[in-house]
Amino acid sequence: MSIRFTRSLVAGFGVLVAVVVVLTLAAPAQAHNYLIASTPSANETLTELPPLFSVTTNGTLLNIDGNAAGFALQVRDSAGLYYGDGCVTVDGPTILTGAALGVGGRYTVTWQVISTDAHTVSDSFDFTWQPPAGFAASSGSKTVPDCHGTLKPNATGTPLGGATPATAAVDNGTLATVLWIGGAVLAVGVAVLVTILATSRKKPGGKA
Ligand SMILES: [Cu+2]
C-alpha cells in the first residue's frame, strides 16, 4: 500500500513535470504575432491605389508609448526607391500607412511590429503594381522615409528596433519549433525515467 502509493505519487509527479515543461516551452511560440492579412496582399497585382497600405497580425500589437516606436511599413520599388512618408499608425492588431506608388512594376513591402510579447517581428512580401491610365506616379526617395523627421532609421533602412527583415521572422519560428520539439522530447524522457525509477523500487529486496 505504502510502496504502491509512493510509486503513484512519483509517477504522477513525473507527468506533472512533463506537462509543465511542454507548456512552458510552447507558450512563447504562441505569443509571436504573425501576418494574417495585408493591403496589398502578397503577390497581388494591384490595379488601383488604395488610400492606405496595411498589415494585420493575429493579435493586439504592443504600442507601448502610443507613438508607434519600433513599427514600420516600408514600400520599395525594384530599384530600391522608397514610397510614402514612413508614418505608421497602430490600430489594435493592424499597422497602417498612407499609400503612394510610382510607375508600374514589382514592389516590396517590408513591415516590422512589436509583438504582444514585446519581441520585434518583421518580414516582407512583394506585389505587382499596374497603375490605371492617367495615374499620377509619385517619385521615389533614395532615403528611408522618416515620417517628417520623427523617425531615426538606421543606415541599412531597417527601422527602429534593429531586427533584420525576413530572416528575423524565419529564425523566430524555427527557434520556437526547435524549443517545442526539444521540450516534448525532454518531457517524455523525464516521464520514462521517473517510471523506471518507480518500477525498480518494487523489486524484491528493494525498499521504498
Ligand atoms: Cu517573442
Note the pLDDT of residue 161: 39
pTM of the model: 0.63
Ligand 1 midpoint to CA 74 (Å): 22
Question: 85: buried, middle or exposed (CB in 10 Å: 19+, 13-18, 0-12)?
Answer: middle
Higher pLDDT, 153 or 178: 153
Note the pLDDT of residue 31: 72
Q: Are 106 and 80 in contact (CB under 8 A)?
A: no
Eight-state DSSP code of residue 203: S
Q: In angstroms, rounded to a whole number, what is the distance separating the alpha carbons of residues 26 and 5?
A: 32
Q: In angstroms, rounded to a whole number, what is the distance separating the alpha carbons of residues 114 and 57?
A: 11
Ligand 1 midpoint to CA 173 (Å): 10
Q: Are 38 and 66 in contact (CB under 8 A)?
A: no
Q: In angstroms, rounded to a whole number, what is the distance separating the alpha carbons of residues 77 and 106?
A: 6
Identify the residue whose cell numbers are 492588431: 93
71-76 average pLDDT score: 96
Note the pLDDT of residue 108: 98
Note the pLDDT of residue 125: 98
Ligand 1 midpoint to CA 97 (Å): 24
Ligand 1 midpoint to CA 69 (Å): 17
Backbone Cα Rg of the chain: 26
- What is the sign, positive or negative, of the torsion defined by CA atoms of 87, 91, 92, 96? negative
